[in-house]
Copies of this chain bind each other. A is one copy, B any other.
């Protein structure tokens, strides 16, 4: 699938964003991104900068998004439909909400060439394999993946080329997946700057339930609880949000469709992890009620160490307040 020879723009490409490397030769001839939102458009941007594919193709169900992508010049071809974007393509990456992945798989199934790779970027993996897998022809490789990266913004303008640099992308090959197709998907994510980890779809869904899905759920929930109080006005919640609340509003402003689909498609793992969270919060509430300061102090000390590890491993900034204050502090 790899073809030799430099394409013209690789010769010109002298300023590649930090953490990305310009390739001597494209990894694939033709790469299609279906759904150029935050993640999809970031893939296109990083693919362009690195020379990952000779031809970048994209499409979106929404004509306004197709138009915007044309204006931004994010791809070589903007196809009118998913089926046309997928025709003759080496790798198709489906970058739509989890609940819509299977329907896209159904739309492109007939047009995929033998040996083509279909991947996705969904935050839930087992349901993708269960629902999309049976719709694809046997001659095609389904190799799901999930880059653990993003911001709270959506759409083609929100993406940027370095979104995946030093983030992890989890590849979840189904049983008996073709090793060379798996290697190509891994190579694609590495080219985009990510570190790659392999795991089963089931384990992925459990890990992400605690590192992403339940955190989003409780963030959405506390923001909703605060909005609904009678004793405290919304204006007070907003004014005094710097006490901690505002941190939660960031992930609670993530795309509603995407997150609805995540919860509907990872029900069991989310409810299991939420059950653990609830047990623990009940114990904390009891410690508060009975004045058990030692139990509180012990937990609050343990949790500090975890952040230190996350910072040490390059997954978080050490700047106070996420760097919100940086400019002021430099004075």
Contact = CB atoms under 8 A, between A and B. Distances in A.
A256 interface: yes
A252 B215 CA distance: 13
B304 A256 contact: yes
Contact of A243 (B211, B271, B297): B211
Given A220-B300, A302-B227, A313-B239, A245 B322 contact: no
A229 B249 CA distance: 26
A322 B322 contact: yes
A139 interface: no
Interface stretch (A55-63, A112-120, A262-270): A262-270
Given A215-B244, A244-B211, A303-B223, A322 B323 contact: yes
A68 interface: no
Contacts of A307: 152, 223, 246, 249-250, 252-253
A281 interface: yes
Contacts of A238: 306, 309-310, 313, 315
Interface in A316-330: 316-317, 320-326, 328-329
Contact of A236 (B211, B222, B299): B211
A225 B310 contact: no
Contacts of A261: 293
**Secondary structure at chain A's binding surface: helix, strand, loop or mixed?**
helix
- Chain A interface size, as a band, is 35 or more
A149 interface: yes
Contacts of A224: 280, 299, 302-303
Contact of A259 (B248, B250, B296, B313): B296
A138 interface: no
B242 A168 contact: yes
A170 interface: yes
A184 interface: no
Nearest to A162: B328
A207 B302 contact: no
A11 interface: no
B296 A260 contact: yes
A65 interface: no
Interface in A169-217: 170, 197, 206-208, 210-217
A222 B218 contact: yes
A257 interface: yes
Given A212-B244, A218-B222, A270-B288, A325 B207 contact: no
A103 interface: no
A320 B300 CA distance: 28
A276 B326 CA distance: 35
Interface of A: 17-19, 123, 148-153, 158, 160-163, 165, 167-168, 170, 197, 206-208, 210-229, 231-232, 234, 236-254, 256-257, 259-261, 263-264, 267, 270-271, 273-274, 276-278, 280-281, 284-285, 288-289, 291, 293, 296-297, 299-304, 306-310, 313, 315-317, 320-326, 328-329, 331
Given A207-B236, A212-B244, A219-B247, 5 more contacts: A217-B284, A221-B277, A223-B307, A237-B306, A246-B310
